[in-house]
Amino acid sequence: MSVDIQNESGVAVDERTLERLARHVLEEMGVHPLVELSVRLVDVPAMTALHEHFMNEPGPTDVLAFPMDELHDHRDEHDDADVPPTLLGDVVLCPTVAEHQAANAGHSTEAELHLLCTHGVLHLLGYDHGDQAEEREMFTLQGKLLESWAVARPR
């Protein structure tokens, strides 16, 4: 599993822990180990530009997810050498927006970034929250993944 973290935000972030979290989410979701994921941390102007360009909504947002390749389930294949790596996509996070949200929610910026990263990965895996049923399913799964991360997280 390849998880590439790029911090272009100018904000100090524990990138190694964020990488471990992303791996944890992918493993818990049963994603094939040859998957590749990119997590970008950007500043407010960059997030604003992405949000306005791709979502046609003003201002910055906390997380965006850009799926790349269609994810195939290769777990039943016997020869992993024949399975090409799959680029799952990009999760883009804005630590400054996350910091403001964390303050409003009463938890740390790191906890908010973990929630947002998990949320973004779930979007790449096909989860959405367009209606109440989808939202309930996605947010319940997100909560379970964050709980299992809290237990499994190396300290």
Q: Rounded to whole angstroms, how far apart are CA atoms 44 and 60?
A: 6
Residue ranges covered by each domain of the chain: 2-152
Question: What pLDDT does residue 1 have?
Answer: 87
CATH fold, domain 2-152, is Collagenase (Catalytic Domain) (3.40.390)
**Contact present, 98 and 60 (Cβ < 8 Å):** no
Question: What pLDDT does residue 152 have?
Answer: 85
- What does each of the 155 residues of the chain score in pLDDT, given as a tens digit? 899 999 999 999 999 999 999 999 999 999 988 899 999 999 999 999 999 999 999 999 999 999 986 555 444 444 555 656 688 999 999 999 999 999 999 999 999 999 999 999 999 999 999 999 999 999 999 999 999 999 988 66
Question: What pLDDT does residue 141 have?
Answer: 98
Q: At what angle do helices 15-28 and 132-152 cross, to 10 degrees?
A: 120
Q: Minimal CA–CA distance to 113: which of 20, 1, 31?
A: 20
* DSSP assigned state of 80: G
Phi-psi region for residue 106, left (φ > 0), alpha (ψ -120 to 50) or beta? left
